[in-house]
Amino acid sequence: MPRSLLQPLTSPTTLASGASAVLFIGVVGWWTWAFHATPVVPLSHPAPPAPLDAAAGATLFGAQPDSGRHDQVQLLGILAFDPGHAAAIVSVGGDPARVVPLKGRLDDSTTLSEVRAHSIVLDHDGIQREITLPAAANPDGFVR
């Protein structure tokens, strides 16, 4: 009698079906455990990466570090009458404000190359940089 019961279990299709059922039950059990297990919470946040040292990059190809004075340009106002006649009111490095005409020099190597509606473009040794007007404190104020 036991031999007659074991005979149908030895066919390849029956063995494949049994293995598939065991595999399916294992996968369903694993996913059930994965969704119902308590999530692992990290204990602390990783530290933010250290900021890059721009001074080291400036001297990468043998350039001499500058004083950074051309980086301290603050745009205070724009005077534009037409595209050929424009000027900007700027302060460099905390100095008093002064008017610089279009194509005029801010210092030995920085010139005012372009005046736009809300910004200016400075040319420092061939490198152009745009400086925008600061946001208005009272945008509803009347200016004549």
Question: Rounded to whole angstroms, how far apart are CA atoms 138 and 46?
Answer: 41
Question: Rounded to whole angstroms, how far apart are CA atoms 130 and 117?
Answer: 12
Q: Is the pLDDT of residue 24 over 90?
A: yes
Q: Is the pLDDT of residue 142 over 50?
A: yes
* The overall pTM is greater than 0.75: no
Top-confidence residue, 23 or 126: 23
Question: Rounded to whole angstroms, how far apart are CA atoms 142 and 104?
Answer: 30
Number of other CB atoms surrounding residue 39 within 10 Å: 4
Question: Rounded to whole angstroms, how far apart are CA atoms 60 and 54?
Answer: 10
Strand ranges across the sheet with 73-82: 73-82, 85-92, 98-101
Q: Is the pLDDT of residue 1 over 50?
A: no
| Structural domains of the chain sorted by starting position, each given as residue range(s) with its CATH number in brackets | 71-132 (2.30.30)
Residue 114's H or E segment, with its range, is: strand 110-115
Dump pLDDT digits (tens) for 74-124.
888 898 877 778 999 998 877 888 999 999 988 888 899 999 888 999 998
Top-confidence residue, 8 or 37: 37
pLDDT class for 66, splitting at 50, 70, 90?
low
Number of other CB atoms surrounding residue 115 within 10 Å: 20
Q: Is the pLDDT of residue 135 over 70?
A: yes
